[in-house]
Structure 1
Amino acid sequence: MANRVVMVVDMQNGVLAMPRFDRSGRCERINQLTAAADRVIFIQHVGPGLEVDSEGWAIVPELQQPANALFVNKTACDSFWQTDLAAQLDQFGINSFVICGCATDYCVDTTIKVGASLGYHITVAADAHTTADRTYVSAQQQINQHNEVWADLIMPGNPVRVRETEALLREWRPH
């Protein structure tokens, strides 16, 4: 039974073709998390320019993909919507996970809120998700804002945790 699970959302060539905040730093921290994890789940968006098995759909080359990683394709911002994600989590007895990836304000945010509503215990890797600058707000401002909102999300009995990568790695180290 995996107890250190990392879900990596949409870290794909086509998604990251648009400049994203701190791409190299985010990839480095995601690799630190996945190296320490018992199980890694890669979520991949499918759509125009992100067709299955295309170069755009592929995970960015900077990320390490553990041999036992699970992969889930999705067509919406919500990683649970019309996918087998919940079934895969159930199959492996997973009810909690750390989430990271792209884009903070779209797929990461939606997956966190839906997942928490479904009863999954979610921890956000605060410094391992990214997005792009938008018309009215910078990527860094969005990341900070979303971390604040998630940490204060009203979900009685199932709060979303928000932690820096180093703090998560410390929690996972044997005492």
Structure 2
Amino acid sequence: MFNRKALLVIDMQKGSFTEATPRHNTEGVVQIINLLAAVFREQSWPVLFIQHDGSTMNEFVPFTTEWELLDELKIDNDDIRIDKYANDVFYRSELKKRLDLLAVNELVITGCATDFCVESTVQSAVSKDYNVTVIEDGHTTGDRPGLRAHQVIDHYNWVWKNMIPTKGKIEVLPHHLFLQQILND
């Protein structure tokens, strides 16, 4: 069985990281994503930047500042950009088709927001029989009513660790353990 990975970087867009919408450990998450992306490129594995297109709600309109990826992200010309239209990246997007063309069967998931788009994508990927690795310290969100952002992140990491996959596998690993696995393969 082949094992071809792809890194998904979900919604790391300027409009999600404002003074009005502060995110937990933004700088650290960006550094982890940049590190992972560099390793994926070295392995010739695809890096996919997912950008929410909220044109129908007049939000995150393509080519506006709010739609743009964070300046701190290191993006390569060979990286793939995918527009998404709902929390679930797979919904009416080109993602599945691109992954099939790239012969990918394992998704490594990072991004924003843990409890919305990251969660929806993890659930969808599992139900589509992908092997899934969520980078435990590679996703972020903001404070929610009654919960601090780090509690939301901890909760979803726990949920994903205890999920029962359909056919593939699901793991939740801190980035350093994930990278260690790659080096040992």
Q: TM-score, normalised by structure 2?
A: 0.90
| Corresponding residue number in structure 1 for 2:119 | 109
| Corresponding residue number in structure 1 for 2:16 | 15
Q: Deviations over 1:86-117 (max 9, x none)?
A: 00000110111110000000000000001110
Please tell me whether residue 84 in structure 1 is matched to residue 99 in structure 2.
no
**Residue 31 of structure 1, aligned match among 17, 26, 34:** 34
Q: Equivalent residue of 2:64, what SS?
A: coil
Residues 126 and 162 in structure 1, CA contact (< 8 A), matched pair in contact too: yes
**Residue 154 of structure 1, aligned match among 164, 171, 181:** 164
TM-fit CA distance, 1:143: 0.4
Please tell me whether residue 43 in structure 1 is matched to residue 44 in structure 2.
no
Residues 79 and 107 in structure 1, CA contact (< 8 A), matched pair in contact too: yes
Residues 130 and 143 in structure 1, CA contact (< 8 A), matched pair in contact too: yes
| Corresponding residue number in structure 2 for 1:5 | 6
Residues 29 and 165 in structure 1, CA contact (< 8 A), matched pair in contact too: yes
C-alpha RMSD of matched pairs (Å): 1.5
Quote the Cα distance in structure 2 between the aligned partners of 1:165 and 1:97: 14
Gaps of 5+ in 2: none
Q: Equivalent residue of 2:163, what SS?
A: coil
Runs of 4+ displaced beyond 6 Å: none
Q: Deviations over 1:101-159 (max 9, x none)?
A: 00000000000001110111110000010000011111100100100000111224423
Deviates further, 83-92 or 66-75: 66-75
Q: Equivalent residue of 1:110, what SS?
A: helix
Match runs of 1:101-140 below 5 Å: 101-140=111-150
TM-fit CA distance, 1:170: 1.1
Shift in alpha-carbon separation, 1:165–1:16, aligned structure 2, 3 A: same
Partner letter of residue 92 of structure 2?
A: Q
Structure with the higher helix share, 1 or 2:
2
Shift in alpha-carbon separation, 1:174–1:153, aligned structure 2, 3 A: closer
Q: TM-score, normalised by structure 1?
A: 0.95
Q: Equivalent residue of 2:121, what SS?
A: helix
TM-fit CA distance, 1:160: 1.3
Residues 153 and 159 in structure 1, CA contact (< 8 A), matched pair in contact too: no
